[in-house]
Every structure is written in C-alpha cells, then in structure tokens.
Amino acid sequence: MNREICCRLHAAHDLRIEPLPEPQPVEGAALVRVLRGGICGSDLHYYHDGGFGPVRVREPIVLGHEAAGMVEAAPEGSGLAAGQLVALSPSRPCGQCEYCLAGQPRHCLDMRFSGSAMRLPHENGFFRHRLYHPVAQCLALPQGASAADAAGAEPLAVCLHALNMAPPLAGQRVLITGAGPIGAICTALARLRGAAEIVVTDVQDFTLDIARRMGADRAVNVAEQPDALADLAQGKGRIDIVLECSANPHAIAQAVGVTRPQGTIVQIGVGGTLPLPVNLIVAKELRLVGTHRFDSEFAQAVRMIAAGQIDLSPMVTQVLPAAEAQRAFDLAGDRSQAVKVQLDFGA
C-alpha cells in the first residue's frame, strides 16, 4: 500500500489527503523527499476563500510553497547528492522576458510559482511526500541543519527583500504592524540590523508574545489599548520606518499617523483595495513602498539559516503530521494560538 500522500485542495474548505501518484522524472530536476512544509497566509486564503483577489482555484491543486526536504536522486554534475538537506525555492521565472532580462525576475511575465493557482493548469506545490524540483531551486544546507529551520527560508527571503526596499534600519525606530509569521521574522531582522527601538502591534496577545521572543522592545495589543501609540504620534510622528505586515486599514492609518515626516512605510501585507489617508501621506511626504516576493534573497536566507545567524524557531508554534493537514490549516488560521504551523512529512 502506498502511504505517500499529497495535500490537495479541491475548493474552499475541501482539502483532501490523497495518495501521491509516482513522481515523473523531469529533465534538470532532483527527486526530493519533503520533510517539512510551512503553511503560509496565501495557503490559508486558498483554503478558506478558494483564492484571493482575482486568483481562484479552478481545479484541484497541491498547496504549499515553503518546504525543505532530502535529496533522493539528482542529475550528474548538478552539485547535489543523495542525502543532502535542501530548501526548495518555489519561484521559477522564465529567464527570457523583459523583467527577467532587466534583473527583476520576481516580476516575470511567465512566472511559475509552486502552489499557485494563477496559471491554468495550476502549479502544484510542495505539500506532498516526493517531487521533482529544478536543481537550481534546490539550495543545499550543511549537515546538521534542521528541516524545520530550512523550511523557513521562503518567508525569511520575503522579509529580506522587504528590508532591502526600506532604508537602513540601524539606529532607527521601527514599527511592525501585524505579528504573524512575516511580522515575527521582520522583528528578528530589525533586531539583527541594529534598530534602536522595535515596536510591534497586533490584536492578539499570543502573537505579540512571540514577537517579544523574536526581539520586540514593545509589543502592543491595539484592540485592548487603541491609544497606546499616542506618544509616537507626537510632533508629527516619531517612527522612522514602518514594516506593515497586516494589510489592515486601521493599522495602516495608525502607521501613517505615527510615522515622522519623510519616513518610510514598506507595505508587505496584501489585502486588496483599501482606503488610505492620502492627505497625511502627502502632507508628511511619506515614502510608501510596495514589496513583492524575492530574488537573490532566497539564497541569502538559506545562507543565514545554515550559518545560524537567525533563529526562526520561536515562530514555529505547532508541528502536525501531514496526514492531519486539515486540522493544521484550521489551527494555522487561529492567531490566538498559532503563528507558523508546519506539516511534518517525515512523521
């Protein structure tokens, strides 16, 4: 009996654990046995809403774009060997369109992204026991590294790119709005990059406790203390840089209110069409910057994890067997008790 499985979404709240068909060899790809996979916010959008914005699930799709696994077989000369732990990059740009040629492959016009329903047929993701993945997108980690840490490379890469879009954080007062996985990692990076003060806001005490463990100086539950940032709004604002991870209109409005003139707001969270306090943005000459996925930052994230330069373990609040994926998805959406939930495919 084949006990290898995949986690396939058929429609909103219709996530099925199905037998995994035998993976078919692909030229230039390594056969990888997945060990750990992290549930991301976009996975939750697919699970709860059947998509996000105009992107809808139109056929069954294997979810997951945060994962690490063990190489079982690799093409000769690839630099990969059986038994190596690898982090899997989900991003596969075409390399030929105008944005790829301009050095911006994250904006590729023909992007393939694992676990994405943007294309039809959909791009199946990593939540399966084995898959073939391009060798260039399998980044090896040294012996002794953990699959749990390696599976955090993708969200870490997202945060590294976001910080590359911001001014240097050293000596700055930083506000991070939203203490989910991205907010937690941004907190750790802000601490590593020498921020003078890190303020994190959320509406859940559980996630704020994790933010404190990741390096926050001040963690504020704005649902319970809506005026707690009043001191930061004095004198047109005291915050130098905002890393906005919630996509909540109230959080964005509060961030604009506390950011100093000519400060920077990096919008990381995605939430569709939202109202903006444009008059204040104009009057204070704020820089509102978007950030999208990552390019070379994935390799940087793997190097940091391999070297032990960042500890992502506090944000991994639960690990469940892959066979219990539906329970894991239900838990991952509950910020009162979870930040990052990982699926264990080795269980």
Tens-level pLDDT at each residue, the chain (347 residues): 358 999 999 999 999 999 999 999 999 999 999 999 999 999 999 999 999 888 899 999 999 999 999 999 999 999 999 999 999 999 999 999 999 999 999 999 999 999 999 999 999 999 999 999 999 999 999 999 999 999 999 999 999 999 999 999 999 999 999 999 999 999 999 999 999 999 999 999 999 999 999 999 999 999 999 999 999 999 999 999 999 999 999 999 999 999 999 999 999 999 888 899 999 999 999 999 999 999 999 999 999 999 999 999 999 999 999 999 999 999 999 999 999 999 999 87
Q: How many domains does the chain have?
A: 2
Domain annotation covers residue 88: yes
Candidates 243, 234, 290; CA nearest to 261 is: 234
Same domain, 44 and 119: yes
Q: For residue 264, what are the domain limits?
A: 166-290
DSSP conformation class of 78: S
Same domain, 235 and 309: no
Same domain, 330 and 251: no
Task: Give the model's pLDDT for residue 1.
Answer: 39
Domain annotation covers residue 118: yes
Last residue of a domain, one of 273, 290, 307: 290
Task: Give the model's pLDDT for residue 2.
Answer: 57
Domain annotation covers residue 203: yes
Task: Give the model's pLDDT for residue 53.
Answer: 80
Same domain, 251 and 127: no
Same domain, 331 and 257: no
Same domain, 286 and 180: yes
Q: Calculate Rg over the CA atoms of the chain.
A: 20
Domain annotation covers residue 159: no
Same domain, 149 and 15: yes
Same domain, 14 and 149: yes
Asked whether the beta carbons of 60 and 124 are under 8 A apart, the reply is: no
Candidates 32, 27, 93, 3; CA nearest to 292 is: 93
Domain annotation covers residue 160: no
Chain center to CA of 209: 19
Domain annotation covers residue 161: no
Domain annotation covers residue 136: yes
CATH of the domain at 335: 3.90.180.10
Task: Give the model's pLDDT for residue 22.
Answer: 94
Whether the ω angle into residue 167 lies within 30 degrees of 0, i.e. cis, is: no
Same domain, 140 and 231: no
Last residue of a domain, one of 263, 290, 317: 290
Same domain, 178 and 286: yes
Same domain, 91 and 176: no
Domain annotation covers residue 200: yes
Same domain, 117 and 47: yes
Distance CA 254, CA 248 (A): 10
